[in-house]
Structure 1
């Protein structure tokens, strides 16, 4: 009797049997969390045209989900590479006034399109302030440009964007600043949306916002599943019996995946144009990237984690691949509750060594009649000295 080689995974694809009976699989689009819908969007802006590439997407999301927007601008403590130098009080006040006017101008542009936007001015370090504002304002989506004031570079992400994504612990929409479209704020329309699925409940977190966007824009929703070919490390070619076992496992997982996708299509309801793609490949990420290009997808929606359920890191390998190497707008839904966030060793060390600096990054001031959370500029200088 031939036994299954130890190197072959027992299951490459989650079976519908795990969610309901095999014959009557009714997928659960919303796992342990409540349905993912975005009601409060945080939009970091640094005053550059590159950062403003997110604004058409902000209008699209606000109209789809009925969300309000908070426009946040961060006044950096250091500028022009002069580390450790206290800013001139007069110059600092001038910068604050310019930033206020800029935020108010953007808010008026959005208000003209019936999108509620509230300006918020913060002082500190950009990434820290954005994360602190997202937590304090209870934002459930951060709409982020890949690049900003520092300009485009050979890197697919700026340092600030990367820091925010890694520690956001909430949904993030990443827009590639080097692939901007129309300058008009209300002309954006998604035509084809890709939702990669691996059969897990976690991955299904992406279905609610993906289907809502598809219905709103009458876009095609592409549900994709990749059956990974199992790895069988051998110094010699597989025997016929071993190859037969591998082929049987792939066929079994492919059949289960086909049933899963068909069940999704039948239970997601009317009003959504759904297409499915099922493939067998050695590299899941490679296939998905190629699918984005071949299908001319203009929005990818996925969950931060998938079948493996590894939660030590903010996102899994497939999400990380799209964050680092993707070229289209990417919305990834964070499936981990905020109370499960674990500080890294670097963060723990930073908190222990400089708690005052960390708290300083949380200060901000609303520009629309809200309470002033930042003190006078001289108090800031006193803290820095």
Structure 2
């Protein structure tokens, strides 16, 4: 499970939509929760500008006062949290804080004070999530809010929790946390597997033999998937936990998961950052990355690889080398 949770807030109502979900995570066990506000120095054309000391102190005081107010609201529903205010670029500061404090769950909304403007991820969320090397809880701030949330609901409940699985042990890393969430909320756990057949060469039409082989292969894979999910259902099911299974035979995994989430009214999707073919060269495999960027439901990505195993991206390496030459 998660021991240290970081919740970045920018004083916007959109960013505060993460808070009810933080309450859910906090109630799964003892957690150290930190509310973080990053104050960005004023810039002009990308160049940092001098800041009036009095105005900056007022901004610091305002940020502390804001976080203290959120802290009190969380305490009213039984959740304790620390607060921290730092100066710098928001995404860089969030990532640095995660590294320095050993954060193992980042809880963040897709959009903040910059608004939605049609983008799947806001600027800060995009820069932070795509470089995060830990577990992440992504809350879709797709509903407009007016003003800050005055009160937090006593409980937030997930009715249906989707757990996509590709048959690998790595993909099963999210089952334990999904089970705990389902037990807490008496939610139904939906296990799903997407059967993906081999892609044909499009510049020629397949002959009858090839079509027959492909059809037999998909049928065999579907049967194996149904057996696999049935075994997991038996292992995970108990007197009070409802476990459903679904095998999807159409489309690629990312699209099928997104479609299934919408059709079944899924409240939370839990999946691992990598599956069978996941490479440590990137923080996320293709399915997880698609879900982070384009998904429509609240998403919990369980990072299945230690941070030390994940390689730097090409951009991160270039930036580090450039700093070394400065």
Q: TM-score range by the shorter chain?
A: over 0.9
Whether contact under 8 Å (2:280, 2:311) holds in the other structure is no
CA contact (8 A) 2:271 2:288 kept: yes
Decide which of 296, 317, 325 is 1:348's aligned counterpart. 317
Aligned residues of 1:229 and 1:282 also touching (Cα < 8 A): no
Is it true that 1:248 corresponds to 2:239 in the alignment?
no
Tell me the residue number matched to 1:45: 9
Stretches of structure 2 that go unaligned for 5 or more consecutive residues are: none
Cα offset, 1:246, TM superposition: 1.2
Q: 2:161 aligns with which of 171, 175, 193?
A: 193
| Contact map agreement 2:268 2:300 (CA 8 A) in 1 | yes
CA RMSD of aligned residues (A): 2.0
- SS of the counterpart of 1:177? coil
Q: What is the 5 A alignment of 1:52-63?
A: 52-63=16-27
- Greater shift, 73-82 or 202-211, is seen at 73-82
Q: Measured at CA, do residues 234 and 338 of structure 1 come closer, stay the same or move farther in structure 2, by a change above 3 Å?
A: closer
Measured in 2, the distance between the counterparts of 1:65 and 1:80 equals 45
What SS does the aligned partner of 1:209 have? helix
Which of 169, 173, 176 is residue 208 of structure 1 equivalent to? 176
2:299 to 306, 314, 330: 330
Where structure 1 has 5 or more consecutive residues not aligned to the other structure, the ranges are 1-36, 358-385
Deviations 1:178-228 (A, max 9, x none): 137996332311111111110011111111111110110000111010111
1:129 aligns with 2:93: yes
> Is residue 259 of structure 2 the alignment partner of residue 290 of structure 1?
yes
Once the two structures are superposed, what CA deviation does each residue of 1:26-55 show, in whole Å capped at 9, x if it has no partner? xxxxxxxxxxx1122100011111110000
TM-score relative to the length of structure 1: 0.79
Task: Verify the 8 A CA contact 2:237 2:243 in the aligned structure 1.
Answer: no
Matches within 5 A, 1:271-310: 271-310=240-279
Tell me the alpha carbon deviations over residues 145-168 of structure 1, each in whole angstroms, 9 at most, x when there is no partner: 111111221101011101111111
Aligned residues: 321
| Cα distance change on mapping 1:97 and 1:355 into 2, 3 Å | farther
| 2:4 counterpart of 1:68 | no
Return 48-57 or 348-357, whichever deviates more: 348-357
Q: Which has the larger radius of gyration?
A: 1
| CA distance in structure 2 between the partners assigned to 1:72 and 1:185 by the alignment | 21
CA distance in 1: counterparts of 2:76 and 2:43, whole angstroms: 33
Shift of 1:354: 3.6
Partner-residue secondary structure (3-state), 1:106: helix
Q: Which SS does the other structure have where 2:195 is aligned?
A: strand
Shift of 1:344: 2.4
Q: Residues of 1 paired with 2:198 and 2:312: CA distance?
A: 34
Q: Is the 8 A contact 1:145 1:176 kept in 2?
A: yes
For 1:311, what is the secondary structure of its paired residue? Answer: coil
Contact preservation (8 Å) 1:227, 1:280: yes
- The residue number in structure 2 matching 1:159 is 123
Paired with 2:235 and 2:152, the residues of 1 have a C-alpha distance of 36
Residue aligning to 1:110: 74
Q: What is the DSSP-based 3-state SS (H/G/I as helix, E as strand, rest coil) of the residue aligned with 2:249?
A: strand
In the TM superposition, what is the alpha-carbon distance from 1:142 to its structure 2 partner? 0.4
